[in-house]
Structure 1
Amino acid sequence: MAVLVTRPAPDNERTAGALRARGFDALLAPMLRFEPVALPADTGREVAAVIVTSSNALRAVAPQLAGSPLLKLPLFAVGGHTAAAARDAGFAHVISADGDATALRGVVTDQVAAGLAAARPTLLYLAGADLSRDLAAELGERGFDVITQTVYRMAPVAALPRAVCEAFAANAVEAVLHYSRRSAAAFVAAVRADGVEISALAVPHGCLSANVAEVLREAGATQVTIPAHPNENDMLEGLARALRS
């Protein structure tokens, strides 16, 4: 029996390692495919700082940053994982909000209030094509001009790997993990297209948030767990308790 991980590569490998450390076997079926988008040559001209809410944004731009003036700017990251990716990409002045987009908004606002930049500063938001909230507008209400630059997209994957379909057919999947609404929706579409919907929705589904869980419940899943806090460790611990109860 194995736990199926639906998050994209390369993060799915980290999750698989965390599962194995807890005594579970892991199957991988990334339901979104990472596609980087090229940066325009003049990206970041006359901006005061960079903001990033996903390590995928750094993954997308890192190969394009050699000699870039962006590396000299302060970079505000949503959390520690994204901050580490920013440092690996070559940013020297990285400020982590250690939270979510709301925490990031607060840190950016506080830093500017402390004199980081001039009045009505311009920020560069390196973002994905599909955004769950309008952070640029929220910062605009607090006195910023924000340039949102799309640097990657996550394309839905239409079908499950053959080995995963066979595992569902053999009732060899113990549970499924979901990290976003879009990947959860892609999973539901794929299990329907592959003819394994009944067995796939019958197992427990661990979801990072209530927003993600809603997709599974609407599809017919009845065993859905949500962590008290939206982080992977809490999600895995909650799922482990549910499977072993």
Structure 2
Amino acid sequence: MDRSAHAPLRLWVTRARPGAEATAARLTAMGHHPLVSPLLSVRRLKPRIDLSGVGAIAFTSRNGVAAFAALERALPVFTVGDATAGAAREAGFRHVRSASGDVTALAALITAQPVDGAVLIAGAREPAGDLPGALKAAGVQTRTAVLYAAVAAPGGRGLAALKAGKLDGVLIHSPRAARRLADLTEGLIPPVGAVPVFCISPAAAAPLKGSPAFAAAAADHPDEAALLSLLGKPRPPV
């Protein structure tokens, strides 16, 4: 479908807050109509973290940065993408390097840099990729700190709009959100036919492949700028 110029889209933003509001603001600025109705919510955990022998920290999301920033800001930081790197710098981390990609790119970045000590992987209870496994396979010493959990949220307003045929698309920011959407819509046939789903990566699109309810498209780079580029530019109002 050519999305170079089209009417504004009614889009369900499924990601957890507070990121959902930032996405909605970007969509509004583009001329679209976002509906924020998260399928996941972030619950902070309170792990006991021992930083002795740790030489660097790896973050795979901004949620990890926010949960960790109160504990330590002096250690070097590696991040999966540029948005997470920006959040780390804003939180006060001074030495930040971004992989500008996915978990595989992050593992390659860390492996290529000398780290004096273990790499502390600070993130979710159920991470999207196996960063510890990739680093251990490369001979990098690691530890893991589980800082938050992404738990299911109802997504009630979004589901209602979907069932009523009032959506032009759905935004998916993670494989976990895609699995949640697939579970909630099993057997659903929307009244307007297959609804476009714009996914941040092929991994995020995978759980929706084969569903008659959705037509999933994946961004060519795993960040929100590439995700939003799938939407195209709305025509200016007449």
TM-score bucket of the superposed structures, by smaller chain: 0.7 to 0.9
Counterpart of 2:110 (choices 103, 108, 111) is: 108
Structure 2 counterpart of 1:156, which letter? A
Equivalent in the alignment of 1:94: 96
Equivalent in the alignment of 2:42: 34
- Offset at residue 2 of structure 1 (A): 1.4
SS of aligned partner of 2:57: strand
Identical counterparts, % of pairs: 33
Structure with the higher helix share, 1 or 2: 1
SS of aligned partner of 1:105: helix
Counterpart of 1:218 (choices 197, 210, 224) is: 210
- Which structure has more relative contact order (CA 8 Å, sep 6+)? It is 2
Structure-1 separation of matches of 2:221 and 2:86: 21
Structure-1 separation of matches of 2:91 and 2:111: 24
**TM-score after normalising by structure 2:** 0.83
Structure-2 separation of matches of 1:96 and 1:228: 18
Structure 1 counterpart of 2:67, which letter? A
- Offset at residue 104 of structure 1 (A): 2.0
Equivalent in the alignment of 2:57: 50
Q: Deviations over 1:213-240 (max 9, x none)?
A: 2222233235222223333233323233
Change beyond 3 A, Cα 1:233–1:199: same
Change beyond 3 A, Cα 1:229–1:4: same
Structure-2 separation of matches of 1:143 and 1:150: 22
Q: Deviations over 1:162-185 (max 9, x none)?
A: x43443344221111112121112
**TM-score after normalising by structure 1:** 0.81
Equivalent in the alignment of 2:190: 199
Structure 1 counterpart of 2:226, which letter? D
Structure-2 separation of matches of 1:16 and 1:102: 28
Equivalent in the alignment of 1:160: 155
Structure index of larger Rg: 1
SS of aligned partner of 1:19: helix
Structure-1 separation of matches of 2:36 and 2:226: 20
Equivalent in the alignment of 2:79: 77
Equivalent in the alignment of 1:134: 130
**Contact residue 160 and residue 191 of structure 1 kept, 8 A:** no
Q: Deviations over 1:180-222 (max 9, x none)?
A: 1211121233345xx9x32287321112222222222233235
Structure-2 separation of matches of 1:150 and 1:57: 9
**Contact residue 190 and residue 213 of structure 2 kept, 8 A:** no
Moved over 6 A (4+): none
**Contact residue 39 and residue 61 of structure 1 kept, 8 A:** no
Counterpart of 2:120 (choices 124, 128, 152) is: 124
Change beyond 3 A, Cα 1:133–1:164: closer
Equivalent in the alignment of 2:21: 13
Gaps of 5+ in 1: none
